[in-house]
Amino acid sequence: MPKISNRGENIPFSPFRKLMPYAQAAKAKGKKVYHLNIGQPDIATPPWAVQKLKETAIDVLAYSPGAGWAPLRKAVADYNQARGIAITEEEVLVTSGASEGLYFLFIACLEAGDNIIVPEPFYANYNGFAHMADIELKSITSHIEDEFALPDIDKFEALIDNRTRAILITNPNNPTGCVYSKATLEALGRLVKKHDLFLFSDEVYQDFCYTDEPFFSALSLQGVQEHVVVLDSVSKKYSACGARIGYIFTKNEQVFHSVERCSKLRLSPPALSEFLAIYMLENDQEYMASSKAAYDSRRRTVFNRLKNMPGVTCYLPKGSFYCFAKFPVQDAEHFCRWLLESFEHNGETVMLSPGQGFYATPGLGIDEVRIAFVLNENKLNHAMDCLELGLAKYTEVEANLVSQLT
């Protein structure tokens, strides 16, 4: 039998992948599982846009151009211009989710063996795309004590070597909920200019910032426009994860054309979703205000619940819909598994993402967990009940359980 490749075999799994069989087993036993492990929101996809899609005449569902259907590129540019981001439709390239955009950027801008500096914890799938593109992610640790603020710029500078090609940030951050300030971005801007690096800024949560300070996009940085590539998506903005519509913005024509070459190979983004994306972008103010208010309230609920749990370290996240918390356990993955396998409260339990998979540095995040507040307030409170009771019970008998189960 012919063998698969090492590179195929070693594509990293998601942080909660190992827990999936336990979640399935729990459900098979009739347990209700609250999924706070994945960024799949419960908020309805804009109904007016779904309705307009249904009213759209579709004769031949044809390929779009590789870079996306021109009316969508224009809609994305218009949307951003209205928010003060000076981007033209020629600078917008539509991808099948921001994920594809990031992967194409890795290929378009880096040779095999090059590296990118990224603050950790970071969105775990970056690891997988880096692995597929044969590049290295060099991580700088951010800390819960600082609410995962960006580490000092000199720590980034110290990591730069002759194979470093870019800095990658997620702003607002997944998994930490941190939002980087204008001053922080400007410091990064000076650094990429000094060392002639790219700045890849994944801004798919840009609409979910809960502080008074307005969100500052890397695209607004002055003097480094040819260094910056921003990734965005309709997935989180409009709770349309299944649409698979993302886009990259860049004023660097070489980058645009290099990514476009990748995009032409796969021929077209999904065209039905392109229609939907246009309709969503057209008229979203009320919808966005309501979504943002819902997440804002949820983050407060999660924070208020967590801070009353003995031994838990947490903070009020400033953006996105995640919180990264430290638990009084020796092995958060084991605790998450135990919640699924051995715990229930009124027939219910909760699934979380163990923190370790969000770090590149071995041994970090072992007592941390990512919580996605993607369920409504009522469910969130039920989930937090499970977490609170589970944590109390687990810590009581942890030593004993660890020896039994591992």
Cis peptide before 121 (omega within 30 of 0): yes
Q: Which residues of 304-341 are buried (b: 16+ CB within 10 A; e: fewer)?
A: ebbeebeebbbbbbbbbbbbbbbbbbebbbbbbbbbbb
Residues 6+ apart with CB under 8 A from 120: 139, 140, 141, 142, 358, 359, 360, 361, 364
Which of 40, 141, 184, 313 contacts its own copies by CB under 8 A?
40
* Min separation Cβ 57 and its own copies, Å: 9
Question: What is the rounded CA–CA span in Å between residue 364 and residue 117?
Answer: 17
Single out the residue of 36, 131, 45, 75 nearest to residue 360, CA to CA. 131
Site string for its own copies, 238-277 (x = CB under 8 A): -xxxxxx-------x-xx--xx-xx-xxxxxxxxxx--x-
Q: Which is nearer to its own copies, 125 or 381 (CB)?
A: 125
Q: Are 325 and 180 in contact (CB under 8 A)?
A: no
Q: Which of residues 52-91 bind its own copies (CB under 8 A)?
A: 53-54, 58-64
Which of 45, 80, 201, 349 contacts its own copies by CB under 8 A?
45
Q: Does 320 bind its own copies (CB under 8 A)?
A: no
- In this chain, which stretch among 1-9, 71-79, 178-186, 312-320 interacts with its own copies, using CB under 8 A? 1-9
DSSP label at 325? E
Neighbours of 48 (CB within 10 A): 14
Q: Are 178 and 144 in contact (CB under 8 A)?
A: no
- In this chain, which stretch among 94-102, 139-147, 205-213, 385-393 interacts with its own copies, using CB under 8 A? 94-102
Single out the residue of 44, 13, 40, 37 nearest to residue 349, CA to CA. 37
- In this chain, which stretch among 13-21, 288-296, 323-331, 344-352 interacts with its own copies, using CB under 8 A? 13-21
Q: Are 177 and 320 in contact (CB under 8 A)?
A: yes
Tell me, letter by letter, the H, E, C secondary structure of 121-166. CCCCHHHHHHHHHCCEEEEEECCHHHCCCCCCHHHHHHHCCCCEEE
Single out the residue of 257, 200, 203 nearest to residue 229, CA to CA. 200
- In this chain, which stretch among 84-92, 107-115, 286-294, 394-402 interacts with its own copies, using CB under 8 A? 107-115
Site string for its own copies, 350-389 (x = CB under 8 A): ----------------------------------------
Which of 90, 134, 147, 282 contacts its own copies by CB under 8 A?
134
Percent helix, strand and coil across the chain, each rounded to 5? Answer: 45, 15, 40
Q: Which is nearer to its own copies, 57 or 82 (CB)?
A: 57
* Min separation Cβ 274 and its own copies, Å: 8
Which of 9, 28, 183, 363 contacts its own copies by CB under 8 A?
9
Which of 23, 33, 76, 110 contacts its own copies by CB under 8 A?
110
Total residue count of the chain as it appears in this document: 406
Residues 6+ apart with CB under 8 A from 181: 213, 216
Q: Does 143 bind its own copies (CB under 8 A)?
A: no
Instruction: Determine the size of the site formed for its own copies (CB under 8 A).
Output: 79
Site string for its own copies, 189-228 (x = CB under 8 A): ---x---xxx---------------------------xx-
Q: Does 115 bind its own copies (CB under 8 A)?
A: no
Q: Which is nearer to its own copies, 42 or 154 (CB)?
A: 42
Site string for its own copies, 155-194 (x = CB under 8 A): ----------xx-------------------------x--
* Min separation Cβ 322 and its own copies, Å: 16
Main-chain dihedrals φ then ψ at residue 319, nearest 5 degrees: -155, 180
Q: Which is nearer to its own copies, 275 or 327 (CB)?
A: 275
* Min separation Cβ 285 and its own copies, Å: 20
Q: Are 121 and 365 in contact (CB under 8 A)?
A: yes
Q: Which is nearer to its own copies, 267 or 289 (CB)?
A: 267
Q: Does 7 bind its own copies (CB under 8 A)?
A: yes
Q: Which is nearer to its own copies, 169 or 329 (CB)?
A: 169
Residues 6+ apart with CB under 8 A from 158: none
